[in-house]
Structure 1
Amino acid sequence: MTLPPTGPRILLFTGKGGVGKSTIASGTAALAAATGRRTLVLSTDSAHSLADAFGIEVGSEPTPVADNLFVQHIDAQARFERSWADIQSYLLSVLTVAGVDSVSAEELTILPGAEEIFALLELRERALEGAWDVVVVDCAPTAETLRLLAMPEALGWYMQRLFGLQRSLVASLRPVLTRATGMPLPGTAFFEALQRLHGELEEVRTLLSGPRASIRVVLTPERMVVAEARRAYTTLSLFGYRVDGVVANRVFPEVATGPRDSWRDGWVDAQRGVLADVEASFSGLSIWRAAYLPGEPAGVTALRSLATELYGADDPFAEPEAGPPLRITSSDRGAVLHLSLPLAGRRDVDLARTGDELVVTVGSYRRLLSLPASLSRHQVSAARLEQGELQVRFHEVSV
């Protein structure tokens, strides 16, 4: 498939487990449908909480739950057979020759995080079919989402540098290597399946880092949760994804009149301090607050009411105003690579140049940036972190 110039508005919701991201994602989808937008909400989270949120049975195809509103749970097995079967077949043949029993071999050839990855491939397919105005994605908890969104670029690095060489070597040395090792070597189907998987994941990355996609971080007013949300904001930006808002969920509303409750007042005071940190940490982003409700909202009406209250007069489906997290500017003095790294400190960031790649490390996450050809004869002359943006200056080397 070829990516269309325009597509649906894509909203991804992530956050620490248990903060209510499935509820917020479902409410946003219900609100989109109520405004006349044809809306699909699906989940990359193996917990599949959408059925509970809407109070209906949800199938592996888009299931209608209200006018313009469809819900889908991913059929991981069907996706597995379409995207991984040829690769698994070769891996099984290798393990069988190595003496691994069939049950263990089957388990060893399952791709780690397969369900989430195949959900992203399903997202790609749905976004490309042209049937939706809005696609809402209920993502897995933060750490899994970060690993997942980093995967397309990491696999792309391997494919670009090693795939062609390995394929050529295997083709030319197959008879010799097979006799010498006794192991079957990958055939054309294996390489084509791997290349197809890489291409589809790269299209996923193009979609999710494009101008019509953004991520919203859901949190509760607790210091540990906010600390994780801050790290997520920095890391998502590192990998080139736009974060356009933060949802503070389960906020105790302040009561101006009436009888006082010391227990409740204690929570209000504690949350007030944390919410002030949220406002300071995520300055420049939309920050929405959802009140702590006496019961968990379930069903289309309750979810839509929650989202209506949450977003107020804002348009939650407007395209993000922020530019791409990564850009390059040029002048007579050379070129500057700009990479948004909000909330990162100088001690958190490490920078290295390896050939035509810039290696940017933030905390425990690393991104390999392939530099464009226009910078191939340039050297790094300076780098600084200023107001949440890494600026790397290049100057041209005379030949």
Structure 2
Amino acid sequence: MAFILTFLGKGGVGSTTMAIASAHSYAQQGKKVLLAVQDSSPCFSALLGKDVGKEVTEIVPNLNAIRLHSSKLLEDSWEKVEELEKKYLRSPILKNIYGSELSLLPGMDEALTLNYLQEQDEQYDIIIFDSKNALSCLRMFGIPDTLSWYVRRMRDILANSDIVKGLSPFIQPVSSAVLNVSWNADNFASQPTNEANELLENGKKAVHNPSRVAAFLVTNDQPTAIASALYLWGGAQQIGLTVGGVLLNQSTNTPEITAQFHPLTINPIPQTTNQDWNSIMALLPDFQENARQAPKPLEIDTSKREVKVFLPGFAKKQVKLSQSGPEITIEAGDQRRNIFLPPPLKGQPVKGAKFQDKYLVISL
């Protein structure tokens, strides 16, 4: 299985440069690497020194690259969808709809991209993903948790829905063809081992596992860039995505910057000319080792009846805490985190919450 690495930072701080340098570094180590980007500008190809389009392109030995376009990803499966429509529906409804149009649906970019990365999992040792922007990246990695929450909330309603029962013969194969998810009435039954829930749970486990997926912050010493990085750090913790460290691009570290990102390791990257990848690569951290040593986004201590959520970048007034049955919901920034309490704490009401050393400590 591949290790998926991504970079989070304000636009213009060098996230794409760090992604390319990291890809070259892993390729030189003999790892089979895929560099997947959503940037449609010519800058990416200029940085790589080779034109990269919608098909996988070899850059150097062990390193392939591709630009991801949701319309292309969806159209790759569109013929399968049309065949399934003919098979399952008496009156075709998609004859005037094209895959490129469906790609405009909200969230489709992130869903299709996440599915593509998952499909490459067995083909590469390392997948480096460079998103069109950091918030979109967080929304993408948060999809399994968000969908899982909706499935749990809507299960009882949809299990007996005539609409779901009527459309499920068509929805199931179409969703399998496009997003590798099988949705039908049985998926909303009470059994926790049904296919949809199991798929979503596996997705959440992968995102929450620092050995499978990790992000690194990229910033410079400008206050706006640092503020953005801190905000993204907190947002990543909200979806359970491990942030393994900070790349301080074209800047010198200071005690103030160190304190703001404590306890993360900061790697200063000095300014280079003409994309001197070797100079940058020599200063990159061991991403996988740093990710394993990073603070865990969530810790639950049943003996202390305590839930600790690592929430750097947020003040107490920016956080909303609520509880519904066995779940605790934390809203901070643009992200909502749903924490399913283990059996020893299930059903226990929240007694208090406080901020301590960048952790939200919840007492039950």
TM-score normalised according to structure 2 size? 0.79
C-alpha RMSD of matched pairs (Å)? 3.4
* 1:18 paired residue number: 12
Q: 1:33 aligns with which of 1, 12, 27?
A: 27
Distance 1:23 1:35 in 2: 19
* 2:192 paired residue number: none
Among all aligned residue pairs of Structure 1 and Structure 2, give the percentage whose two residues are the same amino acid. Answer: 25
Q: 1:354 to 1:249 in 2, by over 3 A?
A: same
Distance 2:150 2:35 in 1: 32
* 2:209 paired residue number: 210
Which amino acid in structure 1 is aligned with residue 242 of structure 2? R
Give the 5 Å matches for 1:1-399. Answer: 7-47=1-41, 49-74=43-68, 76-81=70-75, 107=101, 110-127=104-121, 129=122, 131-163=123-155, 165-170=157-162, 186-191=167-172, 193-194=174-175, 196-197=180-181, 199=196, 203-212=202-211, 213-251=213-251, 275-295=254-274, 297=275, 302-308=276-282, 310-311=283-284, 314-318=285-289, 320=291, 321-322=293-294, 324-331=296-303, 335-394=305-364
Q: 1:339 to 1:72 in 2, by over 3 A?
A: same
2:235 counterpart SS class? helix
Report the alpha carbon displacement of residue 136 of structure 1 after superposing the two structures with TM. Answer: 1.5
Q: 1:277 to 1:104 in 2, by over 3 A?
A: farther
Q: Is the 8 A contact 1:219 1:225 kept in 2?
A: yes
Q: Is the 8 A contact 2:247 2:267 kept in 1?
A: yes
Q: Is the 8 A contact 2:75 2:99 kept in 1?
A: no
Q: Is the 8 A contact 1:11 1:215 kept in 2?
A: yes
Q: 1:63 to 1:318 in 2, by over 3 A?
A: farther
Report the alpha carbon displacement of residue 133 of structure 1 after superposing the two structures with TM. Answer: 2.4
1:380 counterpart SS class? coil
- Say how many residue pairs are matched: 338
Q: Is the 8 A contact 2:207 2:240 kept in 1?
A: no
Which amino acid in structure 1 is aligned with residue 153 of structure 2? R
Q: 1:37 to 1:364 in 2, by over 3 A?
A: closer
1:324 counterpart SS class? coil
Q: Is the 8 A contact 1:124 1:203 kept in 2?
A: no
Report the alpha carbon displacement of residue 216 of structure 1 after superposing the two structures with TM. Answer: 0.7
Distance 1:238 1:316 in 2: 21
1:110 counterpart SS class? coil
5+ long unaligned stretches in structure 1:
1-6, 175-185, 254-271, 395-399
Q: Is the 8 A contact 1:246 1:286 kept in 2?
A: yes
1:378 counterpart SS class? coil
TM-score normalised according to structure 1 size? 0.73
5+ long unaligned stretches in structure 2:
183-195
Which amino acid in structure 2 is aligned with residue 241 of structure 1? L
Q: Is the 8 A contact 2:214 2:241 kept in 1?
A: yes
Structure with higher Rg: it is 1
